[in-house]
Amino acid sequence: MKKIEHIGIAVHNLKASNELYEKLLGRPHYKVEEVDSEGVRTSFFQTGDSKIELLEASHPGSPVAKFLEKRGEGIHHIAFEVDDIRQEMKRLRDSGFQLLNDEPKMGADNKLVCFVHPKSAGGVLVELCQDAGP
Protein backbone atom coordinates (compact mmCIF):
# COMPACT_ATOMS: atom_id res chain seq x y z
CA MET A 1 0.00 0.00 0.00
CA LYS A 2 1.79 3.14 -1.19
CA LYS A 3 -0.52 5.89 0.03
CA ILE A 4 -4.14 6.90 0.55
CA GLU A 5 -5.28 7.39 -3.04
CA HIS A 6 -8.69 8.72 -2.02
CA ILE A 7 -11.45 8.70 0.57
CA GLY A 8 -14.89 7.84 -0.79
CA ILE A 9 -17.82 9.71 0.77
CA ALA A 10 -21.46 8.75 0.08
CA VAL A 11 -23.77 11.71 -0.58
CA HIS A 12 -27.46 12.06 -1.41
CA ASN A 13 -27.09 14.86 -3.93
CA LEU A 14 -23.86 15.39 -5.83
CA LYS A 15 -24.62 18.97 -6.82
CA ALA A 16 -25.38 20.12 -3.27
CA SER A 17 -22.43 18.18 -1.87
CA ASN A 18 -20.03 19.64 -4.45
CA GLU A 19 -20.94 23.06 -3.07
CA LEU A 20 -20.59 21.93 0.54
CA TYR A 21 -17.19 20.28 0.01
CA GLU A 22 -15.94 23.23 -2.02
CA LYS A 23 -16.63 25.39 1.05
CA LEU A 24 -15.11 22.83 3.40
CA LEU A 25 -11.94 22.14 1.40
CA GLY A 26 -11.54 25.67 0.08
CA ARG A 27 -11.27 24.54 -3.56
CA PRO A 28 -13.67 23.31 -6.26
CA HIS A 29 -14.00 19.74 -7.54
CA TYR A 30 -12.01 19.14 -10.71
CA LYS A 31 -13.88 16.26 -12.32
CA VAL A 32 -17.23 14.44 -12.46
CA GLU A 33 -17.38 10.86 -13.67
CA GLU A 34 -20.12 8.24 -13.96
CA VAL A 35 -19.10 4.66 -13.15
CA ASP A 36 -21.82 2.40 -14.51
CA SER A 37 -20.32 -0.80 -13.12
CA GLU A 38 -20.69 0.56 -9.55
CA GLY A 39 -23.94 2.45 -10.07
CA VAL A 40 -22.41 5.77 -9.00
CA ARG A 41 -21.78 9.31 -10.14
CA THR A 42 -18.55 10.60 -8.63
CA SER A 43 -16.81 13.91 -8.24
CA PHE A 44 -13.21 14.50 -7.21
CA PHE A 45 -11.41 17.07 -5.06
CA GLN A 46 -7.64 17.17 -4.73
CA THR A 47 -6.19 17.54 -1.24
CA GLY A 48 -2.42 17.19 -0.94
CA ASP A 49 -1.34 13.93 -2.51
CA SER A 50 -4.81 12.33 -2.09
CA LYS A 51 -8.36 12.89 -3.32
CA ILE A 52 -11.81 13.14 -1.86
CA GLU A 53 -14.28 11.21 -4.03
CA LEU A 54 -17.97 12.02 -3.54
CA LEU A 55 -20.33 9.17 -4.47
CA GLU A 56 -23.96 9.64 -5.47
CA ALA A 57 -26.02 6.55 -6.32
CA SER A 58 -27.01 6.57 -9.99
CA HIS A 59 -29.66 3.88 -9.54
CA PRO A 60 -31.59 2.46 -6.59
CA GLY A 61 -30.23 -0.86 -5.34
CA SER A 62 -26.60 0.04 -6.06
CA PRO A 63 -24.14 -0.52 -3.18
CA VAL A 64 -23.95 3.22 -2.48
CA ALA A 65 -27.76 3.54 -2.47
CA LYS A 66 -27.91 0.72 0.09
CA PHE A 67 -25.19 2.33 2.20
CA LEU A 68 -27.08 5.66 2.20
CA GLU A 69 -30.32 3.92 3.17
CA LYS A 70 -28.67 2.13 6.07
CA ARG A 71 -26.14 4.66 7.37
CA GLY A 72 -26.95 8.01 5.78
CA GLU A 73 -24.32 10.28 4.29
CA GLY A 74 -20.74 9.79 5.40
CA ILE A 75 -17.40 8.12 4.78
CA HIS A 76 -17.88 5.06 2.59
CA HIS A 77 -14.39 3.66 1.91
CA ILE A 78 -10.62 4.25 1.97
CA ALA A 79 -8.70 3.54 -1.22
CA PHE A 80 -4.99 2.76 -1.17
CA GLU A 81 -2.75 3.07 -4.20
CA VAL A 82 -0.78 -0.03 -5.05
CA ASP A 83 1.85 -0.71 -7.72
CA ASP A 84 0.72 -4.23 -8.56
CA ILE A 85 -2.89 -4.92 -7.66
CA ARG A 86 -2.76 -8.66 -8.42
CA GLN A 87 0.25 -9.07 -6.13
CA GLU A 88 -1.45 -7.10 -3.34
CA MET A 89 -4.65 -9.14 -3.79
CA LYS A 90 -2.63 -12.33 -3.38
CA ARG A 91 -0.77 -10.96 -0.35
CA LEU A 92 -4.05 -10.00 1.35
CA ARG A 93 -5.81 -13.25 0.46
CA ASP A 94 -2.86 -15.18 1.88
CA SER A 95 -3.10 -13.07 5.07
CA GLY A 96 -6.75 -14.04 5.59
CA PHE A 97 -8.54 -11.00 4.12
CA GLN A 98 -11.72 -11.61 2.13
CA LEU A 99 -11.77 -9.86 -1.25
CA LEU A 100 -15.04 -8.77 -2.85
CA ASN A 101 -13.84 -9.48 -6.37
CA ASP A 102 -11.61 -12.27 -7.66
CA GLU A 103 -10.14 -10.17 -10.46
CA PRO A 104 -9.39 -6.43 -10.59
CA LYS A 105 -12.13 -4.43 -12.31
CA MET A 106 -12.23 -0.97 -13.87
CA GLY A 107 -13.26 1.72 -11.39
CA ALA A 108 -13.43 5.51 -11.58
CA ASP A 109 -10.44 7.63 -12.60
CA ASN A 110 -8.84 5.01 -14.90
CA LYS A 111 -8.00 2.66 -12.03
CA LEU A 112 -7.98 -1.10 -11.70
CA VAL A 113 -9.70 -1.71 -8.38
CA CYS A 114 -10.50 -4.43 -5.88
CA PHE A 115 -12.46 -4.16 -2.62
CA VAL A 116 -11.72 -5.90 0.68
CA HIS A 117 -14.74 -7.02 2.71
CA PRO A 118 -15.22 -4.77 5.77
CA LYS A 119 -15.94 -7.85 7.90
CA SER A 120 -12.34 -8.97 7.42
CA ALA A 121 -10.86 -5.44 7.74
CA GLY A 122 -12.14 -4.06 11.04
CA GLY A 123 -15.39 -2.63 9.67
CA VAL A 124 -13.59 -0.59 7.00
CA LEU A 125 -14.39 -0.97 3.30
CA VAL A 126 -10.89 -0.93 1.78
CA GLU A 127 -10.26 -0.42 -1.93
CA LEU A 128 -6.99 -1.21 -3.66
CA CYS A 129 -6.34 0.75 -6.81
CA GLN A 130 -3.67 0.67 -9.45
CA ASP A 131 -3.37 3.12 -12.28
CA ALA A 132 -4.60 1.36 -15.43
CA GLY A 133 -2.12 3.24 -17.62
CA PRO A 134 -2.67 4.72 -21.07
Residues that bind a second copy (CB under 8 A): 1-4, 7, 9, 11, 17, 20-21, 23-26, 47-50, 71-75, 78, 80-81, 91-92, 95-97, 116, 118, 121-124, 126
**Shortest distance in whole angstroms from residue 68 CB to a second copy:** 10
d(CA 61, CA 43): 20
d(CA 132, CA 107): 10
**Residue 25 or residue 36: which is nearer to a second copy going by CB?**
25
**Residue 8 or residue 39: which is nearer to a second copy going by CB?**
8
Helix (H) or strand (E) segment spanning residue 31: strand 31-35
d(CA 38, CA 45): 19
**Shortest distance in whole angstroms from residue 36 CB to a second copy:** 24
**Residue 79 or residue 108: which is nearer to a second copy going by CB?**
79
Q: Give me the helices (H) in 55-96, please.
A: 63-71, 85-94
Give the sign of the dihedral formed by CA 93, CA 95, CA 98, CA 100.
negative
**Residue 13 or residue 37: which is nearer to a second copy going by CB?**
13
